[in-house]
Structure 1
Amino acid sequence: MKPTSLSVGATARDAAADSRAGIALMVLTTFIFAMQDGISRHLASEYNVLMVVMIRYWFFAAFVTVIAARRAGGLRRAAATTQPFLQAFRGFLLAGEICVMVLAFVLLGLVESHAVFAAYPLLVAALSGPILGERVGWRRWVAIGVGFVGVLIILQPGMRVFSPAAVVPLISALMFALYSLLTRYAARRDSAATSFFWTGVVGAIVMTGPGLWFWEPMSLGDWGWMAALCVSGAAGHYTLIKCYELAEASAVQPFAYFQLVFASAVGLTVFGETLEPNVAIGAAIVVGAGLFTLWRERRRARRLSAPSTGR
């Protein structure tokens, strides 16, 4: 039986509603993560970065464990993988990336750090060829080049570009791009739930040793901020999971750039940072180039998924 036009229309409306809900959840996720970044900056300016990230990961590991235990198959199914070394390296890489990015918040502030970090989709596009074997066309290579011109504008060549502090968020973006590509690679054989479980548990294991080494007493007020950091991290990951359950990644990914807007607003209003003209111009170039690469990737995915006519 062929579907009626009424049922097709209802399906299209449902898909559109899910897409709108997914976009709303992505914007909410970026807001939560921006608040988390502000809290991270405050705590890391008072306490050792490794200790702050360790406590955050303890809560994250507990969160993913509870989520896994409530799913069908429980912890055994969530931990089951045929590529444990890849999954462990992913977890290690993300834990290191978070430490580097939080350090960037302390050294450079939220505005400049996020402006540079916004280049990570360009790095994903550039590295998708050698790591995943994907073809990167000349248009995307041009966009990647333009995006890195924007990064250089932010870093001001000849002034801060050779300063280690200026390079820190760029290293974080490179690490996160590699983590994202390895997550895609792992997804060929493992479920998202398995990758999520390994990310939290491995990160907690990796951070516990160095974090305990740099342990220092924390004031009662800052323990409150630490609790807010842990809860915001869990809440952000939960809304992100729900976002990808409702909508395609290609539809919601461009809205991830709202984190740059929200984090910059926190930096300007809470921490008294300034938005320099070169940072604003460079960030606009980076975001524009990133949106173009995401658009090209979405078009390519649609071409590959389009049914053949047989001619």
Structure 2
Amino acid sequence: MSLLAPDSPRLPSRALHGILCVEIGMLLFVAQDAMMKTMLESYPVWQLIFVRAVVSVLLLLPLVALLGAPHRLRTPLWPLHLARAMLFSLGFSMFYAAFPYMGLAEVTTIFFSAPLITALMATVFLKETIGIHRAWALAVGFVGVIIAMNPAGEAFSWVAALPLTCAVTYAASQIIARRIGDRESTLTVGLYTLGFSGLMILPMGWAFNQILPQGAGFAHLAWPPVSVSFADLPGLALLGLLGMAGYMLLSRAYQVANASLVAPFDYTYLPFAALMAYALWDEIPPANTLIGMALIVGSGLYLGYRELRAGRDTPEPAIVAEGVFVPGSPLPQQIPEEEDAL
């Protein structure tokens, strides 16, 4: 029987549970990114991503070992995890590199084109089909991205390409996760993605500075890492804890509730980020960012509605994406077995 059946006695509690997990997770991710933006004044992005990965692995490793199957420490799918981690490291170093030059709401609005890009990539690489309604929703969403970036405006900067590039790499990592499907647990995917990205990010920072040495005006991209102040240790630990707690809450949401039901609530990250930026730094998003945000969110909500409607049309709930599009989330996506055979 479908989880969305009107006579299901468990629907209200499961749905509310999932929605609450998503909303709290969004707040934690916004807090994490606000901390990241603040700490970039003292530490390079490579170092902060590395610290976050270390804290996450220290929490995930014993958890996976303790819980056992279906979670596992050794996996034959490690090449796919390695590819995802490479995209993850490259993309989010660009995402956070934009923070000193753009408002938090502006960066995250452009990044939230990732669900749209993923849907487009799925049609190309996974041969998924989209109807005319979803095609129009994607078109509207991409118009929102262009408006948010405002390439014809006087205030346009090449920095706006950084969160967009992150959205592309993140979407590509989600396509790889679709290939992993349900052959791997969420915790194992998170462990390998964060673990590999932690190993990659420092060499990546070193290589970047060998090619493009950074001056004083780009201290958040410079090399080598700086000495950690004892007073900053609690903040660095909290940075990793916020990311892991948000990750676990989002994972829980997609375990207890239908993904098509809770996925649209991911977009509450954007107004949360705008409010946080205003409260901390008096940032007011420009009009083009607000318009683009509205179009992107509207497009994503409509895509979620169509997915939910499609799920209602099937006798059993479809296996849908466990794909949460928030900065730094390594959640896997699951697909039906027949798709995995493509």
Q: Give the TM-score normalised by structure 2.
A: 0.80
Matched, 1:133 2:155: no
Aligned to 1:91: 85
Aligned to 2:146: 152
Larger radius of gyration: 1
Q: For 2:14, what is the secondary structure of its paired residue?
A: helix
Q: Structure 1 stretch 231-240 or stretch 158-167: which is displaced more?
A: 158-167
What do residues 219-271 of structure 1 show as CA deviations (whole Å, max 9, x unaligned)?
Answer: 34433321221111111112122212211211111001111111111111102
Q: Distance in 1 between matches of 2:92 and 2:22?
A: 20
Is 2:88–2:170's contact at 8 Å kept on the other side of the alignment?
A: yes
Task: Give the direction of change, closer, same or farther, for the CA distance of 1:154–1:160 in structure 2 (3 Å limit).
Answer: farther
Is 2:264–2:304's contact at 8 Å kept on the other side of the alignment?
A: yes
What do residues 37-78 of structure 1 show as CA deviations (whole Å, max 9, x unaligned)?
Answer: 00011112322111111111111121221221111259xx61
Aligned to 1:224: 234
Is 2:261–2:304's contact at 8 Å kept on the other side of the alignment?
A: no
Q: For 2:101, what is the secondary structure of its paired residue?
A: helix
Counting aligned pairs with the same residue, the percent is 28
Aligned positions of 1:84-123 closer than 5 A: 84-123=78-117
What do residues 4-45 of structure 1 show as CA deviations (whole Å, max 9, x unaligned)?
Answer: xxxxx9982223201111101100000000000000111123
What do residues 146-197 of structure 1 show as CA deviations (whole Å, max 9, x unaligned)?
Answer: 1111111112231268632011111111122222222122115333333222
Q: Distance in 1 between matches of 2:20 and 2:182?
A: 28
Matched, 1:50 2:60: no
Task: Give the direction of change, closer, same or farther, for the CA distance of 1:305–1:125 in structure 2 (3 Å limit).
Answer: farther
Matched, 1:30 2:40: no
Task: Give the direction of change, closer, same or farther, for the CA distance of 1:204–1:11 in structure 2 (3 Å limit).
Answer: farther
Is 2:26–2:266's contact at 8 Å kept on the other side of the alignment?
A: yes
Is 1:161–1:167's contact at 8 Å kept on the other side of the alignment?
A: no
Aligned to 1:248: 258
Aligned to 1:263: 273
Task: Give the direction of change, closer, same or farther, for the CA distance of 1:183–1:305 in structure 2 (3 Å limit).
Answer: farther
Task: Give the direction of change, closer, same or farther, for the CA distance of 1:155–1:210 in structure 2 (3 Å limit).
Answer: closer
Letter in 2 for 1:266: M
Aligned to 2:248: 238
Q: Distance in 2 between matches of 1:296 and 1:183?
A: 22
Is 1:126–1:141's contact at 8 Å kept on the other side of the alignment?
A: no
Is 1:52–1:211's contact at 8 Å kept on the other side of the alignment?
A: no
Is 2:186–2:251's contact at 8 Å kept on the other side of the alignment?
A: no
Q: For 1:65, what is the secondary structure of its paired residue?
A: helix
Is 1:25–1:239's contact at 8 Å kept on the other side of the alignment?
A: yes
Q: For 2:15, what is the secondary structure of its paired residue?
A: helix
Q: For 2:153, what is the secondary structure of its paired residue?
A: helix
Q: Distance in 2 between matches of 1:221 and 1:272?
A: 26
Aligned positions of 1:198-217 closer than 5 A: 198-210=192-204, 214-217=224-227
Q: Distance in 1 between matches of 2:56 and 2:312?
A: 35
Size of the aligned set, in residue pairs, is: 297
Aligned to 1:292: 302
Aligned to 2:59: 63
- Identify unmatched segments of 5+ residues in structure 1: 1-8
Q: For 1:13, what is the secondary structure of its paired residue?
A: coil
Q: Distance in 2 between matches of 1:305 and 1:249?
A: 16
Q: Distance in 2 between matches of 1:221 and 1:266?
A: 24
Q: Distance in 2 between matches of 1:223 and 1:149?
A: 42
Letter in 1 for 2:65: A
Aligned to 2:9: 13
- Identify unmatched segments of 5+ residues in structure 2: 207-222, 318-342
Q: Which has the higher helix share?
A: 1
Q: Distance in 2 between matches of 1:161 and 1:190?
A: 45
Aligned to 2:336: none
Q: Distance in 2 between matches of 1:106 and 1:206?
A: 23
Q: Structure 1 stretch 49-58 or stretch 288-297: which is displaced more?
A: 288-297
The structure 1 segments of at least 4 consecutive aligned residues displaced by more than 4 Å after TM superposition are: 210-213, 304-307
Is 2:146–2:292's contact at 8 Å kept on the other side of the alignment?
A: yes
Is 1:118–1:286's contact at 8 Å kept on the other side of the alignment?
A: yes
